[in-house]
Chains A and B, each alone.
Chain A
Amino acid sequence: MRFPVYLLIVAALALAQTPPRPSPARRAASPTPVDAPPPKRPRAPAPAAAGPHWRDLQFPALRPVTLPKVETATLPNGMRIYLLEDRELPLVNGVALIRTGNLFDPPDKIGLATLTGMVLRTGGTRDSDGDALDEQLEGVAASIESGIGETSGTVSFSALRADAEMVMRTFRDLLAAPEFREDKLTLAKTQLRGAIARRNDEPEGIAAREFASLVYGRDNPYGWRMEYEHLERITRADLVAFHQRYFFPENVRLAVYGDFSAPEMKAALEKLFAGWTAKGAPVPAFPPVRTPAAAGVHLAVKHDVTQTFFEIGHLGGQLDDPDFAALQVMVDILGGGFSSRLFRRIRTALGAAYAVSAAWDADYRHPGLFRISGSTKSASTTDTFRAIEEEIEKIRQSPVTDEELRTAKESVLNSFVFNFDTRRKTIGRMLTYDYFGYPADFIFQYQKAVAAVSKADVQRVAQERLKPAQLVFVAVGRPADFVRPLEALNRPVKTIDLTIPEPKQTAAAADDASLALGRKLLARLQQALGGAEALAAVKDWTETAEFRFAPEAGGLQVTQVDRWLAPSHFRQELVFPFGKVQSYCDGEVGWLHTPQGSAPLLGEQLKQAQDEIFRAYFWLPLSDRREDRQVNAVDESTLEISDRAGRVARLKLDPKTGLPASLAYVSGSAGSVEERYAAFEPAGGILYPRQITIVRGGGRFADVTVKAVTVNSGIQLEELKRRPI
């Protein structure tokens, strides 16, 4: 019932969205499925030539599923292995499950687990770097991938049988001793910064993300999220340490399935992993979940949509909850499939949504989320929410019908066979149950529990576990188009701020000593440059420079002309191969002009321009003359200048000359930037660097040659701010 908006699915965009959720709505069924004929009921008279009625069909008993035999063993180094022969196709696949997770991220380095998972594979092994691995693996159509999610890490491989040995050697090297090369850490950070920058582009992702954050709370690993500032702090050493803490044989389960003989594979694995004898302390339990009080309606305003995307619900439970089967049946009747109550009411009867569904998303070791998700045209937002409230109330107050109960149970029981339709589902399940300490026959226990669920059970769990007063509503849309305001729901309405926080460089604590030393260093700097009065005499200046970007940064060559006029006017012209880009800012507002047209400076662009003004070469050394700025010393030769808007820049002085050796700051999504100065020549009585090297994210980004600097040429404000036509 959907049409594909074609196949251009972007991997990078997927990062910006929430991970796929488990969908346990149809989790189970049986080796001997229940084939009880449905009760007869009066039916419509069938017209002639209609063929038999579906209720008259007799189905033979389903052939029992054959449970494939999984061999298990523990290698001498403590690693647990699971082996499954599957000779249909000439492939060998494997996955190592590592007990770790992003729930172990340090609060100031959120994203560390994710980065470790990404760079483990891309950073290569000691013998070959990531690029060489790409060529080697793709050359034989094999793959090795790694990742760390909320409650586990995985490293997996897939190879044609003929290449399995070679691929598994590389797999071992990556698992046991990844190199985490710096260039791939930089690449991974770029990708994650992109994901942060794009996380508000698709409304569906916003709703799912904000809902989880509100229900779990933003101050703990279940609800917090990665920001630019966290990425800034994470270094290669952090990745190496994270790997060392969690990747040791006793903390790894390895499943291999495919075209091999199990005894031979077992012997091969023993040999392959004989040299990996790392030890580690047992990994602790995941942190507990606690619920903050976030009940009410939370609105994220998004103007470029015609629908409201929503998530409604509260904290759910665990998979081993004794009521899990009854909860599944209940939530399935409420919003599980095409015949569920919400689907009938919101989509079929109101025609108000394409998608609406309810789920009791239980997790193995912590409470999951009870959530009702969907989207509706903006106008019907509040009415849809009301209808959902009513349906929740209805299922709590009155028993479900016999037919609803039968459909819900039968769909689980009759589809149970699909838990075994491929061999790898069996080995995957064994691995997962072992990992989370669940009984091996958990799925069959669940099947029995579903078969036993009664109408009374459904109503009891609906009453006990659905809590209308605690509901968290997240709406992402255009409130101006809502026919009835959200306030009509009689619940508190709050706004969600979607602003993406810029990376902060926190100013060092300034005590009297550091302030005094700061004043001293600044005075020395002013002196070395040509004196404070000469600096103050500069009313305007023009700098013409050639930018040569490093090959890694695009290799472009750009001419840049910056013009400055006191107290805070700044105009920049950049000549790119594709055309000219000009901008102007007076410190408060400004504009940007490109070959595509003109636009006001907004968001990050405006901030960048303001930051440039804050750091302007002739003005920064006079920061002691500005009330809103603070100057202190970080060490014997480094000045730190900060302002009330939170901008921070660090100037390192050449201990011999007192001239600026480098300027460090954090810039928007680009991360940490350092400008290194050399070849000073006088301009208007002030020494000015003619060679500047820009380093970004630890790597050389651009070389700048300053061609000319003109001081006090009498720039007029009118001319400076004039927009091109």
Chain B
Amino acid sequence: MAARKSVSLLLALASLAAAQSLSQFEKKVTEFTLANGLHFLVVTRPEQPVVSFNTHVSAGSLHDPAGRTGLAHMFEHLAFKGTPSIGTTNWAEEQKALAAVQQAYDAWDTERRKGVKAERARLDSLQVQLQSAIDKANLFVEPNEFPRIIEENGGVGLNATTGLEATNYFYNLPSNRLELWFLLESQRFVRPVFREFFKERDVVREERRQRVESNPQGKLQEALLTTAFAAHPYRQMPGGWASDIENLTPADAEEFFRTYYVPANMTVCIVGDVAPTEVRRLAEKYFGVLPARPLPPLVRTVEPPQEGPKRIQIYSQAQPLMFLAYKRPDQTHADDLVFDVISLILSSGRTGTLYKTLVRDKKTALAVVSAPTFPGGRYPCLFAFLMVPAPGHSVEENEALFYQVIEELKTRPVDEATLQRVKAKARASLIRELDSNAGLARLLPIYHTAYGSWKKMFTVLGELEKVSAKDVLRVAAQYFTDEGKTVAWLTAKAEGKQ
């Protein structure tokens, strides 16, 4: 009992530390919204003269229109192509050349739509014309001028990511270059250009080859999502389908931009050695010109209820892998934190019960990973597990053991020490996250858009305290059922049954 007592004392201290860090942290944060709806989060961390930027757009691949998947990702790539004054040797001429490309494309596409009645020779000639229009437009391009300016000015960590629900654009600069970021970032969203569209489309297609087609885990994940979701766009991989990508057009990208890159649908986070008043002045100056536009339409499709387990098998030369996933409600549901606690109980560190059973004791798996909110949290989603069988052990063996652990979770209340341990971990991991400018710039907009305030990052700890062993039992029993289950696994190719 002595040990137990000292542990709770330490936990109380940790909890106190978290509460202190909220009040301390709050002093460093400034928020404001421009008239056009664009929201800014500014965190002052003056220790060194550096600053991290992140533009978070609440639009991603799940907003890709049918038949045009990959579009959100495609636009993200185009956002590195420059502006009317960056990346061109002569914008007036280039603009004409780009219009000619669109015309040539439309002419070719008009003929192509005739299907079997299209004239082969005419199609060929239109395609040649399209290529020559593209070549002509490329004459005005100063390739990669936009990223070059950033690199030359000491920018590091330059990149962007397109997820299902959001797209993020980020990099870090020495803090005396604050205004350069405002200029470059505002220009690419005030006046985007669709330069080098068709070559960049090939690059986007390559990215799918690299991340999905040539990667066993990527393939299996695609199978999991397309199987688990019958209708909701969570079933789309962020990269889009190969043939959709190959047919995207500049007009598609422009339409996507107009609909989704709306100031009120974007959040900017700036963390580092900056003065909030200066940030506000520059924000008005550079982003004030973005016109206010209506918020994008809501996603209409609601995933219909699942009424039984789904299974999908992928053949591969790679060693076996298995995903197991259960349907769960979205991240605003009252049980959201219970899922997080369950995830920590099952698979965090070396004390997670799945780790202890499958990896440490029975040695049937090399690793078990869990993702309580997958592939996103804005809509009803999945609680997913990835299992990596150890050599000589099958996916079937691991699946059987997995159910034993889940059954235990559903029937036996988790002990108090475990519950306290995972809560302490959640608190400490927050403290550790406060250490990085770039990490904060990434996290704050996620909380702001998902829950309405960045403060949720801290207040969530208080809510976490309330999660009880009973909640864990109830939620496990309610959601970890065959009705909402999807299993996807990858094994060596087998001959079909006779």
Contact = CB atoms under 8 A, between A and B. Distances in A.
Contacts of B13: 160, 162
Interface string B446-473: 0000000000000000000000000000
Nearest to A163: B10
A555 B361 CA distance: 10
B14 A351 contact: no
Given A5-B212, A63-B49, A198-B318, A407 B495 contact: no
Interface stretch (B77-85, B96-104, B296-304, B333-341): B77-85
Interface stretch (A300-308, A386-394, A453-461, A654-662): A300-308
B493 to A, nearest CB: 7
| Of listed B159, B209, B401, residue having the most chain A CB within 10 A | B209
A337 interface: yes
B230 interface: no
B277 interface: no
B88 interface: yes
B417 A139 contact: yes
Contacts of A415: 154-156, 174
B366 A43 contact: no
B368 to A, nearest CB: 9
A576 B186 CA distance: 62
Interface in B132-156: 143-145, 147-149, 151-156
Given A163-B10, A344-B144, A414-B153, A201 B160 contact: no
A64 B154 CA distance: 15
A134 B497 contact: no
A141 B392 contact: no
A367 to B, nearest CB: 27
Contacts of B405: none
Nearest to A33: B174
Contacts of B424: 139-141
For chain A, which range describes its interface: under 10, 10 to 19, 20 to 34, or 35 or more residues? 35 or more
A377 B206 contact: yes
Contacts of A413: 154
Contact of B174 (A2, A3, A417, A576): A417
Contacts of B216: 201-202, 304
Interface stretch (A46-54, A148-156, A213-221): A46-54
Interface stretch (A8-16, A239-247, A466-474, A645-653): A8-16
B172 A418 contact: yes
B159 A2 contact: yes
A356 B471 CA distance: 50
A579 interface: yes
B148 A339 contact: yes
A135 interface: yes
Interface in A31-65: 33, 35, 38, 43-47, 49-54, 57, 59-65
Given A141-B428, A417-B174, A556 B91 contact: no
A421 B48 contact: yes
| Of listed B216, B289, B350, B432, residue having the most chain A CB within 10 A | B350
A140 B495 CA distance: 51
Contacts of A452: none
Contact of B364 (A45, A51, A554): A554
A655 B211 CA distance: 60
Contacts of B128: none
A1 B76 contact: yes
Interface stretch (A76-84, A592-600, A611-619): A592-600
Interface in A585-605: 594-600, 602
| Of listed B145, B196, B214, B348, residue having the most chain A CB within 10 A | B214
B215 A202 contact: yes
B352 to A, nearest CB: 9
B2 interface: no
Contacts of A131: 350, 360
Contacts of A596: 313, 491, 494
A237 interface: no
Contacts of B400: 556, 577-578
Interface in B391-413: 391-393, 396-397, 399-401
A89 B431 contact: yes
Contacts of B206: 307, 351-354, 375-377
Given A13-B367, A51-B187, A552-B361, A6 B221 contact: yes
Interface string A81-108: 0000000111100000000000000000
Interface string A164-200: 0000000000000000000000110011011101100
B143 A344 contact: yes
Interface string A536-574: 000000000000000111111000000000000000000
A300 to B, nearest CB: 13
Contacts of A578: 396-397, 399-400
B392 A669 contact: yes
Nearest to B150: A338
A230 B85 CA distance: 61
Contact of A337 (B151, B392, B436): B151
Contact of B86 (A6, A54, A350): A54
Nearest to B436: A422
B414 interface: no
B392 A417 contact: no
Contacts, number: 376
A43 B432 CA distance: 46
Contacts of B375: 6
B421 A139 contact: yes
Contact of A138 (B153, B158, B238, B425): B425
Interface in A328-351: 337-339, 343-344, 347-351
Contacts of B360: 131, 187
A339 B81 CA distance: 12
B207 interface: yes
Contacts of A143: 349
A52 to B, nearest CB: 7
B361 A45 contact: no
Interface in A394-435: 406-407, 410-411, 413-418, 420-423
Contacts of B285: 51
Nearest to B404: A555
A422 B153 CA distance: 20
A553 B374 CA distance: 31
B154 A411 contact: yes
A7 interface: yes
Contact of B437 (A90, A348, A407, A421): A421
A44 B88 contact: yes
A209 interface: no
A53 B198 CA distance: 28
A46 B84 contact: yes
B176 A13 contact: no
A64 to B, nearest CB: 8
Given A50-B85, A163-B10, A190-B366, A375 B210 contact: yes
Contacts of B350: 122, 130-131, 134, 138
| Of listed B147, B153, B172, B386, residue having the most chain A CB within 10 A | B153
Given A2-B160, A348-B203, A599-B493, 12 more contacts: A44-B85, A62-B49, A140-B424, A163-B10, A198-B388, A307-B206, A338-B147, A354-B210, A407-B151, A552-B362, A553-B362, A596-B491
24 contacts: A1-B77, A3-B239, A44-B88, A51-B289, A62-B49, A63-B49, A130-B350, A139-B420, A141-B425, A142-B428, A162-B14, A187-B360, A306-B214, A349-B199, A351-B201, A351-B203, A354-B206, A375-B209, A375-B210, A411-B155, A414-B154, A421-B437, A594-B494, A670-B391
Interface of B: 7, 10-11, 13-14, 17, 21, 47-50, 61, 73, 76-77, 80, 83-86, 88-92, 143-145, 147-149, 151-156, 158-163, 172, 174-177, 179-180, 183-184, 186-187, 191, 196, 198-203, 205-207, 209-218, 221, 237-239, 273, 285-286, 289, 313, 316-319, 348-351, 359-364, 366-367, 369, 371, 374-375, 384, 386, 388, 390-393, 396-397, 399-401, 417, 420-421, 424-425, 427-429, 431-432, 434-437, 491-498
